[in-house]
Chains A and B, each alone.
Chain A
Amino acid sequence: MKTQRFPDLFLCVAFCCSAVIVMFIMAPLLQMIMQPSMADLAETAQDRDVVRAIRMSILTSAAAALISFVFGTPLAYLLARKQFIGKRLVESVIDLPIMIPHPIVGIAILSLTGRNNAFGAALWSLGVRAMGTVTGIVIVLTFVGLPFYINTVKSSFEAIPQRLEKVSRSLGASAGGTFFRITFPLAWRGMVVGMIMCMARAISEFGAVVIVAYHPMTAPVMIYERFTAYGLKYAQPVAVWLIAVCLLLFLLLRLFSGSARSRS
């Protein structure tokens, strides 16, 4: 007997919602990508200011990801492995940069690094300036990108059975030795993903950067400037190049982390 198969209503609704969401994300991006002509894109690619701004965005966000890696990894490890008083508070503090409006982040960093307080004065005496410098941009991008790195890497540490570390200790490895021989090799892919997340967040930052350092110009600031000064037509090609470069970069990183994992 042939059974009649009816489409599942729930799955149909799920598919429809998914299609709407994908369209919602893709439509404006596709529209923007298709707007500039090839000639416009070629001309923009030769514009030294555009190349400099995109390079600045990539380098500063990569620096932010690297700083997050160095300082965020121990913190992520502690949060994943240890119970301590105030842990919830620390976790909430880490998530703060996600919630705070980003111009406020810029203002906060400017006021901390200004000469009006002891910390800022100390930085000035050491020759460290935030206002209008690459250092300022890196500080801002690290601030906004850190939660993404820490949360990703923390999950990655949590996914490693603690028993592996316990056995390693029983076999004579110190806590540090265990971290570098067991935990790190098993979590490094998570760290790469965390750095990608951090960098992705940092590269798109505008609100805080525009307050701390309008110059040297990052790509989002340049896109904003071109839009306000010359209109949509001049902003779009820069945006398309930024998207293309970022896509390529993140794709390469993903491929690298994926293939390295399959080798290990």
Chain B
Amino acid sequence: MIHIKGVSVKLPSFLLDQIDLRIHLGEFFTLLGPTGSGKTLLLESIIGLLPITNGSIWIDGRNVTAWAPEKRAIGIVYQDQALFPHLSVKKNITYGLRYLKRRGLTTTDLDRLIEQLSIGHLLDRGVENLSGGEKQRVALARALAIRPNVLLLDEPLSALDPEFREDIRELLKALHAETRLTVLMVTHDFAEAHFLAQRAAILRNGRIEQIGSVHELFNHPANFFVARFVGMKNIFNAQIDGTHARVGNLSIQINSNGGSPSNHIAIRPEDIRVFPNQARPENDVNCFDGRIERIINHGHHLDLQIAVDNIDFRATITSGQFMRSNLQIDNRVNIAFHPNSIHPF
């Protein structure tokens, strides 16, 4: 378990401000945020590599704030793996056992870990010529070999080719399911958080914007920044009155938000359905007529920018849908979205 109590880190050009975070025992927690938001800084504070200005850090119920990094038994895997280039794969993996022999894995457990990570054939090789995926597996084995109290992952997937990324993602999930280790992973990719984590926090400019379950963050963003970060491309100022939101001249039906004060609504682009040739859905709640202003091709999907009464909506459709409907700029279309897909905040 990691408990971060009011931690601040003051650097000449950056402030990590009053971070409060509790990561439960055995939990896979993700820290999300754009580049430069202070995610890595927080990881390095937890591990003790960066002195904190205020607050305290507790690992498994012990206050480790004043402990040296080597006493904390926290494993870390960086995005660039940080393998020791002058040591073989085997020596990399067993590096920590010299210091943490009593708590580290036994030879049998280590062999099992190596087998599980499929790196047995690499043990005598140098690390320079390994593929990205292999390097990441070695880095994971090295961190796990000391049987850490918690494992910190600093964007472990972002530097990998897509083919390896999926592999390592699956591997992380399987390892966590087996070891039930407390894991804190930093990423800027919401899809990774969705796949791996139970809960997440969103960090921006050294401050936590929202903490909650991944589902909660995804569906109930607390503010404009979080909504934008979790991929809601349609965010509008709105006057909300019970089950209706007024955006410009549009009256949009929403589910009641329980009376909590909101002045924005957000809709995911994939939740907006597009009907060519002005066809209408069976249930025409929140169905509006618009004009395609822009088509952005992302390969396997496309984003359509559709103007409805001077309000721009962004809708995502698959390339198959796009080909079938033969949509073009300036076409008139109907868009529709269910009240369940509207997130007031």
Residue contact B84 to A173, C-beta cutoff 8 Å: no
Residue of B nearest to A161 (CB): B82
Q: Does A182 contact B (CB under 8 A)?
A: yes
Residue of B nearest to A160 (CB): B85
Residue contact A170 to B47, C-beta cutoff 8 Å? yes
| Given A166-B49, A177-B99, A171 and B146 contact (CB-CB distance below 8 Å) | yes
Q: A92 in the interface, Cβ–Cβ < 8 Å? A: no
Which among A169, A170, A182 is the interface contact of B84 at CB below 8 angstroms?
A: A182
Closest B residue to A164 by CB, please name it: B82
Complex: chain B residue closest to A261, CB-CB: B86
Q: Is B76 on the interface with A (CB-CB < 8 A)?
A: yes
Q: Answer yes or no: A186 CB below 8 A from chain B CBs.
A: yes
Q: Which residues of chain A have C-beta atoms less than 8 A from B69's C-beta?
A: 166, 169-170
Residues of chain B within 8 A of A177, CB atoms compared: 70, 99
Within the assembled complex, what's the spacing in Å between the Cα atoms of A97 and B80? 40
Shortest Cβ distance from residue A88 to the other chain B in the assembled complex, whole angstroms: 14
B293 CB-CB contact with A under 8 Å: no
When each residue 23-49 of chain B gets 1 if its CB lies under 8 Å from chain A and 0 otherwise, what string results? 000000000000000000000100111
Residue of chain A at shortest CB distance from B104:
A172
Contact A171 B96 (CB under 8 A): yes
Decide: A168 and B68 in contact? CB cutoff 8 A.
Answer: no
| Chain B CB within 8 A of A48 CB | no
Q: For window 232-278 of chain B, which residues contact chain A by CB distance below 8 Å?
A: none
Q: Which residues on B are within 8 Å of A, measured CB to CB?
A: 44, 47-49, 68-70, 72-76, 78, 80, 82, 84-86, 95-96, 98-100, 142-143, 146
A172 touches B96 (CB 8 A): yes
CB neighbors of B among A153-170 (8 A): 161, 163-164, 166-170
The reply to whether the CB of A264 lies closer than 8 angstroms to some CB of chain B is yes
Closest B residue to A83 by beta carbon equals B12
A172 touches B146 (CB 8 A): yes
| Nearest Cβ on chain A to B284's Cβ, whole angstroms | 56
Q: Tell me whether A164 and B49 are in contact (CB under 8 A).
A: no
What CA separation (Å) do A177 and B84 show in the bound complex?
14
Say yes or no: A173 contacts B49, CB within 8 Å: no
- Apart from the given pairs A170-B75, A177-B99, A186-B85, 15 other A-B contacts in the complex at a CB distance below 8 Å: A163-B80, A166-B49, A166-B69, A166-B82, A169-B47, A169-B48, A169-B69, A169-B70, A170-B47, A170-B72, A171-B75, A171-B99, A172-B98, A173-B99, A181-B95
Inter-subunit contact B73/A172 (CB<8 Å): yes
Contact A186 B47 (CB under 8 A): no
A172 touching B70 by the CB < 8 A rule? yes
Q: If A167-B76, A169-B49 touch, does A174 touch B70 (CB 8 Å cutoff)?
A: yes
User: Which listed residue, A161, A164, A172, A185, touches B100 by the CB 8 Å rule?
Assistant: A172
Using A164-B82, A177-B99, A264-B86 as known contacts, say yes or no to A170 and B68 having CB atoms under 8 A apart. no
Question: Can you list 18 A-B contacts (CB < 8 A)?
Answer: A166-B49, A166-B82, A167-B78, A167-B82, A169-B48, A170-B49, A170-B72, A170-B74, A171-B99, A171-B143, A172-B70, A172-B73, A172-B100, A172-B146, A173-B96, A177-B70, A182-B84, A185-B86
Tell me if B76 and A164 are in contact (CB < 8 A): no
Mark out the residues of chain A between 131 and 179 whose CB falls within 8 Å of any chain B CB in the assembled complex: 161, 163-164, 166-174, 177
Measured between C-beta atoms, what is the minimum distance from B70 to chain A in Å? 5
A166-B68 contact, Cβ under 8 Å, with A177-B99, A186-B86: no
A163 to B68, CA, bound (A): 16
Q: B80 — which chain A residues lie within 8 A by C-beta?
A: 161, 163
Type the 1/0 row for A32-73, where 1 means its CB is closer than 8 Å to any CB of B. Answer: 000000000000000000000000000000000000000000
A172 (CB) vs chain B CBs: closest residue: B99
In the complex, chain A residues whose CB is within 8 Å of the CB of B76: 166-167, 170
- From residue B210, how far is it (CB to closest CB) to chain A in Å? 29
Q: How far is the CA of A8 from the CA of B209 in the complex (A)?
A: 57
- For residue B100, which residue of chain A has the nearest CB? A172
A186 to B82, CA, bound (A): 13
Q: How far is the CB of A81 from chain B (nearest CB, A)?
A: 12
Evaluate whether A163 and B82 lie within 8 angstroms (CB atoms) in the complex, with A170-B74, A171-B146, A172-B146 already known. Answer: yes
Q: How far is the CB of B282 from chain A (nearest CB, A)?
A: 57
Instruction: Give the nearest-CB partner of A188 in chain B.
Output: B86
Across-interface contacts of A185 in B (CB, < 8 A): 86
In the complex, what distance in Å separates the CA atom of A214 from the CA atom of B44? 56
Chain B residues, Cβ within 8 Å of A166: 44, 47, 49, 69, 76, 82
| Chain B residues closer than 8 Å to A186, beta-carbon distance | 85-86
**Nearest chain A CB to B202's CB is how many angstroms away?**
25
The CA-CA distance from A172 to B143 in the complex, in Å, is: 11
B75 touches A163 (CB 8 A): no
User: What's the Cα separation between A161 and B85 when bound, in Å?
Assistant: 11
Docked Cα-Cα span, A32 to B72, in Å, equals 65
List chain A residues, Cβ under 8 A from B72: 170
